[in-house]
């Protein structure tokens, strides 16, 4: 019996997901050996395939009987992977999910170029499928994601970033691909327009909740005790919701701490612990989880516009699971 | 009266090209200010728009009366620009066409991300046009280009690179987009399949000739006297045709020179002059121009398969012009 809602969703789509994984492996092939080496490293490095799962679930929930959703779910994962590769280069990350990042292991140069390759491959998969509506959905999402990345870069290390800017970045960087991944499932199933719109809304709201919680988890002492890597955002000077709240509610001395560690990027031993303590002290976690719950509820409301189906229930439960993670 | 064949081709397509430039400016817009700033810098920095000109010429030559080719020519230029941006990051170039490169001026991070944005924008333009055949042509080309970039990276600084690998890189990096740019013109004009194939072949062969000559020009003393920037490839340790020939025909001592300067990247004052002298001594320029002429002749043979038209003559003359540049 799968232990949580994400595992249950995965189990319901086990065969489809296996096909997606086979497609991913087959389509990252290239006569240029470095491409499957590097792409294989990042694709295999423990992601949960949330985005392709959304495409698969949406397609089946809307009654798709064929296999078109397989290639498109792989395209969604390729776009996501390309984004991760470029993200890590831009952030100069040396770790991703506690493992050496691809740019750390292979260098920045191949990470940039293999990201480009995967992005092109994603569009080849969409062209093979042949739906202009799908191509529109995912090319629009790709442009918005890139805009969000540039916006995030413009705001990085600036502890004066507005909450509005932060939310715009989350919407562009995360919510947009969640929304597109869901909508593609509806498109491939030829679902009525209002259902595809409901799927898009579900993904967009779920994506917001997902990212807000993710940003909190990066400062979670409990996650650290569970052996998860935390503090990535802190080390990179990313300005996320817990920081914005702690800065807004902090004393002048605390603001100097945030200024030194994130804006000036001068970090010392113990600074991460101090950051975690400040975030705890100002109740940032509770505040953000409450907001994530609002987004989650909006996602569930969008789900109500879709027909009853075991996968609809699974998509319902996944939202709560992602919000009530181990803090 | 335009002074050379490229200027004459440009003059024949002046109105179309102006529309393309307007589309480029309009579609690099974004609420994220850094995007039009950076994209505008590189798009405006003196490129000759050879690739979009090919799309325009091919479309008109095949009888296209509408304006669909405008957006697609802009898409071709966006793909090219995205490639340049990523290329300069990968090569750590500080100069492009004698001006500060975008990564030098704005940093590597926005160059990566704005490249992604332009790439996504290119696909949005294609989706708006709505031709799956065009989308296939340019997504295939994009994947091949990325493969070529990775292959070039794998071979960089290796003076033992085979001629075959060098030619594969040129075919992927340059010839593929020239070919696709031409074919898109045929597709948009609904030209018979054999004409679109002829356009593709023309572009592919012309692209090979163009890049071979470009690689020679980077070691041209005459270009330097004319005030052009040379030596970019040398400084970056790129292994191009003139180097391969000079290495193959050189003495053991000369090979030590190439090994030190390109493989080990230890360069001193006077090394570029020495490289130019070795390339001259071994007749590499004449050898490569002869090969470029072979590719050029194949391009002209492909043109013969197309109907007579002033633009066909212009495309004919452009090939000879690009081969007989100022060495």
The answer to whether the CB atoms of B116 and A147 lie below 8 A apart is: no
- Name which of A321, A97, A95 is nearest A228 in CA terms: A97
The answer to whether the CB atoms of B32 and A110 lie below 8 A apart is: no
The answer to whether the CB atoms of B132 and A130 lie below 8 A apart is: yes
The answer to whether the CB atoms of B140 and A124 lie below 8 A apart is: yes
Range in A98-102, B222-226, B265-269 with the lowest mean pLDDT? A98-102
pLDDT at A181: 98
pLDDT at A47: 78
Structure tokens at A150: 């540039």
Can you tell me the ipTM of this complex? 0.94
Q: Name the pairing type of β-strands A99-100 and A95-96.
A: antiparallel
Å between A92 CA and nearest CA of chain B:
9
Phi, psi of A107 (to 5 degrees): 100, 160
The answer to whether the CB atoms of B120 and A145 lie below 8 A apart is: yes
Chain B CB contacts of A146 below 8 Å: 113-114, 116-117, 120
Å between A228 CA and nearest CA of chain B:
28
pLDDT band at B96 (very low <50, low <70, confident <90, very high): low
Where residue B267 falls (left for φ over 0; alpha for ψ -120 to 50; beta otherwise) is: beta
Structure tokens at B302: 């492909």
* B-interface mutation test, from A36, A108, A112, A152, most B Cβ less than 10 A away: A112
Report the alpha-carbon distance of residue A279 to residue B39 in Å, rounded.
38
Phi, psi of B250 (to 5 degrees): -85, 165
Kindly tell me if the per-residue pLDDT of B224 is higher than 90.
no
Higher pLDDT, B230 or A116: A116
Kindly tell me if the per-residue pLDDT of B97 is higher than 70.
no
327 residues of chain A, pLDDT tens digit each: 567 999 999 999 999 999 999 999 999 999 999 999 998 888 777 678 999 999 999 999 999 999 999 999 999 999 999 999 998 888 777 766 667 777 878 888 899 999 999 999 999 999 999 999 999 999 999 999 999 999 999 888 899 999 999 999 999 999 999 999 999 999 999 999 999 999 999 999 999 999 999 999 999 988 888 777 889 899 988 999 999 999 999 999 999 999 999 999 999 999 999 999 999 999 999 999 999 999 999 999 999 999 999 999 999 999 999 998 766
Tell me if A152 sits within 8 A of A236, measured CB to CB.
no
| Interface of chain B toward chain A, CB-CB under 8 angstroms | 30-35, 82, 86, 89-90, 108-110, 112-117, 119-121, 123-124, 126-127, 130, 132, 135-136, 139-140, 142-143, 145-147, 149-151, 153-154
* Strand positions, DSSP E, chain B: 95-96, 99-100
Report the alpha-carbon distance of residue A206 to residue B198 in Å, rounded.
50
The answer to whether the CB atoms of B146 and A120 lie below 8 A apart is: yes
pLDDT at B156: 85
Structure tokens at A53: 């799962």
Report the alpha-carbon distance of residue A174 to residue A79 in Å, rounded.
12
Report the alpha-carbon distance of residue B66 to residue B188 in Å, rounded.
9
DSSP string of B179-247, one letter each residue: HHHHHHHHHHTT--HHHHHHHHHHHHHHHHHHHHHHHHHTT-HHHHHTT----HHHHHT---HHHHHHH
Task: Give CA A259 to chain center in angstroms.
Answer: 27
Please tell me which of the candidates A86, A112, A132 has its beta carbon nearest to residue B90. A112
CA distances from residue B219 to A203, B135, B325 in whole angstroms, order as listed = 54, 37, 13
Report the alpha-carbon distance of residue A91 to residue A34 in Å, rounded.
22
Higher pLDDT, B135 or A40: B135
Kindly tell me if the per-residue pLDDT of B18 is higher than 70.
yes
3-state SS, residue B281: helix
Nearest CA in chain A to B38: A150
pLDDT band at B28 (very low <50, low <70, confident <90, very high): very high
| Interface of chain A toward chain B, CB-CB under 8 angstroms | 30-35, 82, 86, 89-90, 108-110, 112-117, 119-121, 123-124, 126-127, 130, 132, 135-136, 139-140, 142-143, 145-147, 149-151, 153-154
Higher pLDDT, A224 or B67: B67
pLDDT at A306: 97
pTM: 0.95
* B-interface mutation test, from A75, A79, A108, A123, most B Cβ less than 10 A away: A123
Tally C-beta pairs within 8 A across A and B: 135
The answer to whether the CB atoms of A154 and B30 lie below 8 A apart is: no
- Name which of A92, A105, A112, A94 is nearest A41 in CA terms: A105
Report the alpha-carbon distance of residue A282 to residue B131 in Å, rounded.
55
Q: Tell me: the pLDDT tens digits for B170-206?
A: 999 999 999 999 999 999 999 999 999 999 999 999 9
pLDDT at B44: 77
Query: Over chain B, what is the mean pLDDT?
Result: 93
pLDDT at A45: 72
The answer to whether the CB atoms of A147 and B117 lie below 8 A apart is: yes
pLDDT band at B208 (very low <50, low <70, confident <90, very high): very high
* A-interface mutation test, from B27, B28, B106, B117, most A Cβ less than 10 A away: B117
Report the alpha-carbon distance of residue B201 to residue B33 in Å, rounded.
40
pLDDT at B100: 76
The answer to whether the CB atoms of B86 and A120 lie below 8 A apart is: no
Please tell me which of the candidates B32, B82, B151 has its beta carbon nearest to residue A147. B32
pLDDT at A297: 98
Q: What's domain B5-323's superfamily in CATH?
A: Farnesyl Diphosphate Synthase (1.10.600.10)
Task: Give CA B187 to chain center in angstroms.
Answer: 21
Task: Give CA A240 to chain center in angstroms.
Answer: 14
């Amino acid at each position: 019996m799968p232990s949580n809602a994400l595992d249950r969703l995965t189990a319901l789509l086990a065969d489809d997901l296996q096909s997606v994984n086979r497609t991913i492996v087959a389509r990252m092939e290239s006569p240029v050996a470095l491409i499957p080496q590097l792409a294989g490293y990042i694709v295999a490095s423990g992601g949960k395939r949330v985005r392709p799962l959304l495409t698969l679930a949406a397609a089946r929930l809307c009654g798709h009987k064929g296999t078109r959703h397989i290639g498109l779910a792989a395209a969604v994962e390729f776009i996501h992977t390309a984004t991760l590769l470029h993200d890590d280069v831009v952030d100069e990350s040396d770790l991703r999910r506690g493992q050496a990042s691809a740019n750390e292991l292979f260098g920045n140069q191949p990470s940039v170029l293999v990201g480009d390759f995967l992005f092109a491959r994603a569009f080849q998969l969409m062209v093979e499928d042949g739906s202009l509506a799908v191509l529109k959905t995912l090319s629009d999402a790709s442009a918005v994601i890139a805009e969000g990345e540039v916006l995030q870069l413009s705001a990085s290390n600036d502890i004066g970033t507005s909450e509005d800017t932060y939310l715009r970045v989350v919407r562009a960087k995360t919510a947009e691909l969640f929304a597109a991944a869901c909508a593609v499932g509806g498109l491939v199933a030829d679902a009525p327009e209002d259902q595809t719109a409901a799927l898009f809304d579900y993904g967009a709201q779920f994506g917001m909740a997902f990212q807000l919680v993710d940003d909190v988890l990066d400062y979670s002492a409990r996650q650290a005790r569970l052996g998860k890597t935390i503090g990535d955002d802190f080390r990179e000077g990313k300005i996320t919701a817990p920081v914005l709240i702690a800065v807004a509610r902090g004393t002048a001395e605390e603001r100097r701490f945030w200024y030194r560690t994130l804006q000036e990027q001068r970090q010392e031993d113990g600074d991460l612990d101090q950051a975690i303590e400040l975030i705890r002290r100002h109740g940032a976690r509770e505040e953000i989880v409450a907001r994530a719950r609002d987004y989650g509820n909006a996602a569930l409301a969008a789900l109500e516009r879709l027909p009853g189906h075991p996968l609809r229930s699974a998509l319902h439960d996944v939202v709560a699971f992602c919000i009530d993670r181990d803090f």
